[in-house]
Structure 1
């Protein structure tokens, strides 16, 4: 296969609003040992992309500075030592950067086959949210069958994924969302109760719904402004898993007593700094545990909108409004 030497990509000459993004031409990257080169057919737009564009989420030193953390497309080159993929394989992948481009290099251990019956757009909606939810909700927080979970931001890409996975693995699901339409969508996906945080206090509702017991796990992307209410909403031996700080990163004058009395665990992580081996371990569990559910149609990514590559700024504006339900995907080629 003869590859072009140059490609189009979304450039970020400065930080700022969506319009700072421009298109540029640069060299097609070459895969190193353990990597694959993917001709990108579709790419997801995610909040970390918005944060990187704004200058608050820098790329790791060894990663591409180009935006984009999840892609789907065709393998067009393989690096030394890669045996699990071959030329022509359709894959989706969690990228360390560089996804907003016509070609993207990713570690082979972060790539997954398309679920049977999936096209590139549908497959591109999987990696970022499924890696994040699986690692934080199941591996770290240990959610298991028969437990209860509260998922904040239930209508987001993370939220719609978490609802379906938690429900599929036998948990009772509660969520927060910001409108009736979003709450209805969450309940359709499997939430027992969706709480409109603009109208109701979620801690009060959780207390009533659980008979005062609280939930076993909370998946939180809000941070400081929800911290005390999250602690109040957890059952004994519960776990708070923090994955973002949309409501601030510094919680002041917090009463630590309930953490000790209820033997709570507080954990948190971001995906991007994890090692290649850590990400491969998540990938392997997803293929074994989750891909069969996708192929059986028991769960599926929720896609709000599909935009053209040239409309990337529109995708970022939509993300910033929080008016979407589910994922925003960009068709690249």
Structure 2
């Protein structure tokens, strides 16, 4: 089979052996894959996959089940989306059946391809790790990103007012249209977030240069969840502030979690989040779709930091 791999900052098709579909696994004929910032990093050679994971790009995909291993409840022909540690940008993928969920009613396969990674990330970090309670205030940095878009909708659905930092007025308006209470532009008035503080939970994919401000913005008994390093890996903390406020600082990644952890997470999503898609309270924020031949344009769009929501790569047009 063919799969996309990162080679010196480019995405190139390469031949990969077709894997055996073992106990509890399913084989998916891939229709589309969502692009994530982790794919940009891996393409550049900066984020290798976890041991044992495919070295092909792609942390989420959608498609049709073409083979079912012993012990799985899926059926051939089921329309699914899957959370992956790698390999989603390929003609097919073999995955633990517990890491797949049905495409929500009324959504296309392409829309389904951009759900698993961002909603799993937002749910894990806000509601499981930070234990967000109804009514608590949330700050979402990079609010117009894929994870930010999912997090805003989840906050609205579960009764949590949220504010964002974004890169442009258009992206702020986009976040407000999804349910954010308001926010600021990062390059001009980031400090104005103090006007909305204190926050019970901060979800931060930036790190480094946001750390000093975050510790001022977080409230008493607040939870600060760090999920990325776009602003650098080194940060300055005033530990007296952190201690006085009893702040919980939580470092979090999803890709390297073990199979059981992901199965439990997807099970929780199935119960708590998936029905909200059918009810129309959640909607995949798919801004742009690219054909497989235009993969470099897809990566360029994501790297531009101008996309509000998600980018998808269409891999099998016959299934869309």
TM-score tier, shorter chain, comes to over 0.9
Q: Separation in 2 of the partners of 1:34 and 1:96?
A: 17
In structure 1, the partner of 2:195 is: 208
Q: Separation in 2 of the partners of 1:208 and 1:317?
A: 35
Where 2:124 maps in the other structure, the secondary structure is helix
In structure 1, the partner of 2:306 is: 323
In structure 2, the partner of 1:79 is: 69
Cα deviation digits, residues 241-289 of structure 1 (max 9, x gap): 011000011114x211111000100002111111111111110111111
* 1:293 equivalenced with 2:262 (yes/no): no
Where 2:16 maps in the other structure, the secondary structure is strand
In structure 1, the partner of 2:131 is: 142
Cα deviation digits, residues 70-95 of structure 1 (max 9, x gap): 0000011122221x211111100001
Is the contact made by 1:10 and 1:66 (CA closer than 8 Å) also made in structure 2? yes
For 1:236, which of 220, 230, 233 is the aligned residue? 220
Deviation at residue 31 of structure 1 after TM alignment = 1.6
Q: Separation in 2 of the partners of 1:201 and 1:68?
A: 32
Is the contact made by 1:9 and 1:23 (CA closer than 8 Å) also made in structure 2? yes
Is the contact made by 1:72 and 1:120 (CA closer than 8 Å) also made in structure 2? yes
Deviation at residue 329 of structure 1 after TM alignment = 0.5
Deviation at residue 24 of structure 1 after TM alignment = 2.7
* 1:58 equivalenced with 2:48 (yes/no): yes
Is the contact made by 1:29 and 1:103 (CA closer than 8 Å) also made in structure 2? no
Q: Separation in 2 of the partners of 1:201 and 1:282?
A: 33
Is the contact made by 1:96 and 1:106 (CA closer than 8 Å) also made in structure 2? no
For 1:25, which of 15, 26, 33 is the aligned residue? 15
Deviation at residue 150 of structure 1 after TM alignment = 0.2
* 1:11 equivalenced with 2:1 (yes/no): no
Where structure 1 has 5 or more consecutive residues not aligned to the other structure, the ranges are 1-6
* 1:224 equivalenced with 2:212 (yes/no): no
Deviation at residue 171 of structure 1 after TM alignment = 0.3
Deviation at residue 22 of structure 1 after TM alignment = 1.7
Q: Separation in 2 of the partners of 1:54 and 1:206?
A: 33
In structure 2, the partner of 1:3 is: none
Q: Separation in 1 of the partners of 2:231 and 2:162?
A: 22
For 1:264, which of 241, 247, 252 is the aligned residue? 247
Q: TM-score, normalised by structure 1?
A: 0.92
In structure 1, the partner of 2:294 is: 311
Question: How many correspondences in the alignment?
Answer: 316
Is the contact made by 1:237 and 1:262 (CA closer than 8 Å) also made in structure 2? yes
Deviation at residue 299 of structure 1 after TM alignment = 1.3
Where 1:182 maps in the other structure, the secondary structure is helix
In structure 2, the partner of 1:4 is: none
CA RMSD of aligned residues (A): 1.2
Is the contact made by 1:34 and 1:107 (CA closer than 8 Å) also made in structure 2? yes
Is the contact made by 1:177 and 1:195 (CA closer than 8 Å) also made in structure 2? yes
Q: Separation in 1 of the partners of 2:114 and 2:265?
A: 17
Cα deviation digits, residues 211-249 of structure 1 (max 9, x gap): xxx010000000011011101001100000011000011
Is the contact made by 2:54 and 2:85 (CA closer than 8 Å) also made in structure 1? yes
* 1:282 equivalenced with 2:265 (yes/no): yes
Q: Separation in 1 of the partners of 2:12 and 2:44?
A: 14
Where 1:247 maps in the other structure, the secondary structure is coil
Q: Separation in 1 of the partners of 2:284 and 2:181?
A: 19
